[in-house]
Amino acid sequence: MASKDSPRTPNLIDRHVGIRIRLRRRVMQISQQALAAKVGITFQQLQKYENGVNRIGAGRLYELARALEVPVGYFYEDVDQAVDTLKRNEDEAAAISNFVGSREGVQLAQAFNRIEDRKIRRHLLQLAGSLGEAPAKGK
């Protein structure tokens, strides 16, 4: 977790913003290299932003928002809830955030959003929950 000693040290909000950048980039199916080139940084720097390792200045965040075709506020959506979750259980919250920002997480969310029937959505959530509780085989 970030040190409270330095205002330049990344914190939980920086992690949330990075997760939102990764999520949007993957939804738009843009590589790190392509997005980095679009805003004039290295893909390594973009990785650091996405992982919450480096803080993002206001000007750079504006450039990323334009490149990702979202308002700057998009990166702060649900920030209070996300920070509270990260504070309560950093390991689980990090795993969830990493999954949501992963290729599989984005694909799953897109497929789920195409299901219009709420009853089917509930059944799918119940199925996923029961599969998540089942003992892993082959481990």
To the nearest whole number, what is the mean pLDDT of the chain?
84
Q: What is the pLDDT of residues 39-75, one digit of tens each?
A: 999 999 999 999 888 999 999 999 999 999 999 999 9
More confident residue, 100 or 116: 116
Report pLDDT digits (tens) over 18-38: 989 999 999 899 999 999 999
Instruction: Give the pLDDT band of residue 138 (cuts 50, 70, 90).
Output: low
77 vs 38, higher pLDDT: 38
Which residues are within 8 A (CB) of 85 and not within 5 positions of it... i.e. 6 or more apart?
93, 96
> Hunting for tokens 């805003």 — which residue is that?
39
Q: What is the pLDDT of residue 93?
A: 64
Contacts 24+ apart (CB under 8 A), 85-94: 86/12, 86/15, 86/16, 87/12, 90/1
Q: What is the pLDDT of residue 25?
A: 94
For residue 8, give the DSSP letter. Answer: T
Give the separation between CA 8 and CA 138, rounded to whole angstroms. 45
Q: Which amino acid is at 138?
A: G
pLDDT at 3: 44
Reply yes or no on whether the pLDDT at 5 is more than 50.
no
Give pTM, 2 decimals.
0.64
What is the widest separation between alpha-carbon atoms in the chain? 50
Angstrom distances, CA of residue 57 to CA of 49, 64, 83, 100: 10, 11, 19, 24
Spatial distance between the Cα atoms of 105 and 124, rounded to a whole number of angstroms: 15
d(CA 24, CA 105): 12
Cα-Cα end-to-end distance for the chain: 31
pLDDT score for 80? 84
